[in-house]
Amino acid sequence: MPYVDGFLLAVPKNKVEDYRRIAKRAGKVWREHGALEFRECVADDLKSGEHVPFTRTIRVSPDETVVFSWIVFKSRAHRDRVNKKVMQDPRITSIDPAAMPVSRMAYGGFKVLVDLA
């Protein structure tokens, strides 16, 4: 079964385009090093209804939006190999962490429970 790294981020609304540019660059690096998928999605419909919305989960302020992202790998071992290569790639190491347009981030690695692809 595939393995997924998932991310939930708070991004200032006026920095979404900056984030998109960096994410697009990073996604190319992850894909070149073997990631099967790389997705970055910006909030569009976060009506909460009776469930806890992402906006509350990551404590989004009125001037921020939510980005939901994931990267798919063949397995956890494959994820570990790919991420090691990515973290040594100069296209990633040259990104100044202070310049990242992200206020907060939640992250985790996930074993796929159901895959109907």
All structural domains of the chain: 3-45+54-110 (3.30.70.100)
Closest CA to 91 of 7, 17, 21: 21
When pLDDT is cut at 50, 70 and 90, the band that residue 42 belongs to is very high
What pLDDT score was predicted for residue 35? 98
* Residue range 53-109, pLDDT digits in tens: 788 788 889 999 999 999 999 999 999 999 999 999 999 999 888 888 998 999 999
Contact 85, 33 (CB under 8 A): yes
SS3 85: helix
Exposure string for 38-47, b = 16+ CB within 10 A, e = fewer = bebeebeeee
What pLDDT score was predicted for residue 68? 96
Tokens of 85: 């290569």
Give the torsion sign (CA, 6, 110, 27, 45): negative
Element (H, E) at 110: strand 104-111
